[in-house]
Amino acid sequence: MKEAIFPAQWNQALASLPPSGIRNMLKLASTMDNAIHLSIGQPDFPTPHFIIEASIRALNDGKTRYTVDSGLPELLEVLAKFYGDWYGRNLGPENLLVTCGASEALFLAITAVAVPGSEVVVLEPSFINYQPLVEFAGARAVPIVTTASGGYQPDVEEVIAAFGSATSAIILNSPGNPTGVVIEPERMKAIVSEAVNRGITVISDEVYDRITLDGQDRPGVMIWTDDLDHIISISSVSKTYSMPGYRVGWLISSRENVEKLRRYHIYSSTVNNTSAQWAALAAFQGDQNCVAEMVGQYTRRRNRVVELLKHIPDFQSYRPDGAFYVMPSLPAGSNASAIAEQLLHDTGVCVVPGATFGQSCANAVRISFANSMENIETAFERMTDWFAQR
């Protein structure tokens, strides 16, 4: 049941956008002295200094006016070359639109493609924006459930069986938030090929494309099809370079699609922040060791977290291959929201209840390892004791 919290004169589609699932948790945690957050959805590393310097330099050089609405031309060139080289395809600046983070790109793509009355296939657990935005646009989200016991890999047959004449799009997210899943190449290939063959748009959220923990290369969808008319690939600098506050993202698609979404973008944010775009350009042009170092640390933390989870038998877990999350589940029927609240209250360890990411995962919790190894160790000591005493 949707809450009637908006005045009757307002667009009632706003009711599709739910309040944040972790607000209660963060409110409770903010009153505690000893809270440790394993709830964080952003990198814990400082933004590399050369990136910060580039934005300061841009401001001091007077780069404070609008750029071209599709993005700073130098940045579009660099992104087209980077993704063109990475995915072995011919991309030009006209295939790209720079947006206000991946979030704006997701908003534009989903609300443009999720035709009212159509269906959009979403893998669950899913990042919090997808299903609400699909419903906001007037379409219906069709969740395909994946599980911790299956490492959150999607069942290809089940996904394809969900495609029907009403399907307008499928939203993919690999590496994924909240599960850290990297969808196996063969599964990805089968899903993308089938969707594209049927004229279903693949909206692929690839914000963690550079954070793969076992050396997987090219986790995105552009490798599996030549047809960019049915692909909207989305990413950003937020996670890769630990600069989420800069709000620079982009989408990649066919020139025709980009032209249309560019017009839509003019009516939303119009153009991205200029100095932030210079910072993003510096990020791509600078020494990429900063990315390798952060990924190295996430990998060490992932390895440790996977080990530590084995000491809490209540959890069914797996080894996430990307991003900085793991989402172990508790026995079927467990109310993970109540458990997470009690855990926070008793131990100060804050994790995110699974219900935030879909009804099917209400018995799971998302654990983020965007925190220091020391904090992770302390948090797990407290959690292990707490679960042992339950």
Ligand X SMILES: Cc1ncc(COP(=O)(O)O)c(C=O)c1O
Q: Which residues lie near ligand X (CB under 6 A)?
A: 41, 101-103, 127, 173, 177, 205, 207, 236, 238, 244, 249
CB contact set of 296 (below 8 Å; sequence gap of 6+): none
| Shortest distance, position 60 Cβ to ligand X, whole Å | 26
| Shortest distance, position 389 Cβ to ligand X, whole Å | 33
Nearer to ligand X, 231 or 339 (CB): 231
Q: Are 200 and 163 in contact (CB under 8 A)?
A: yes
- 266's torsion region: left (phi>0), alpha (psi -120 to 50) or beta? alpha
Q: For residue 207, give both structure tokens.
A: 């914000």
Nearer to ligand X, 131 or 347 (CB): 131
Nearer to ligand X, 101 or 353 (CB): 101
R_g of the chain, CA atoms, integer Å: 21
| Shortest distance, position 301 Cβ to ligand X, whole Å | 17
Nearer to ligand X, 210 or 347 (CB): 210
Q: For residue 243, give both structure tokens.
A: 């600069």
| Shortest distance, position 244 Cβ to ligand X, whole Å | 5
Nearer to ligand X, 16 or 129 (CB): 129
| Shortest distance, position 220 Cβ to ligand X, whole Å | 13
What span, in angstroms and rounded, lies between the C-alpha atoms of 205 and 335? 29
CA 222 from chain centre, in angstroms, equals: 17
Nearer to ligand X, 98 or 290 (CB): 98
Choose among 183, 231, 241, 184: nearest CA to 207. Answer: 241
| Shortest distance, position 18 Cβ to ligand X, whole Å | 16
**Residue number with the smallest Cβ distance to ligand X:** 101
What span, in angstroms and rounded, lies between the C-alpha atoms of 299 and 275? 32
Q: For residue 181, give both structure tokens.
A: 């899943």
